[in-house]
Amino acid sequence: MNAVKVKKLLYVFVHLVGPLSYFIISTIWGVLFTTKSTFENISDNLGVMAIYYVFMSLLWYFYLDRLDKDVDKITKEINDNKV
């Protein structure tokens, strides 16, 4: 696994899989276990996701250099273990 694949996989999990799984689980939870309307539930969940995206985008921007170093270290360890 090379560094580009690791970065893409990390990006997909941080920006797609995590928020979408949160949205789906919390919407189902809100429909089944709360008395809020579906529209209010979805609206609240989208607000939380917006805050998450802003926070994660800022972290992604400011820690990109450190992230590159960590990804390079991880890919080196993976490649060393294969050999």
Q: Where are the domains of the chain?
A: 3-77
Mean pLDDT of the chain: 88
Q: Would the pLDDT of 49 be above 70? A: yes
pLDDT tops 80 at residue 8: yes
The answer to pTM > 0.75 is: no
How far CA 78 is from CA of 13, 69, 70, 72, in Å, comes to: 19, 14, 12, 10
DSSP state of 35: -
- Longest pairwise C-alpha distance within the chain: 57
| CA pair distance 64, 9, nearest whole angstrom | 15
pLDDT grade for 1, boundaries at 50, 70 and 90: low
The per-residue pLDDT for 41 is: 93
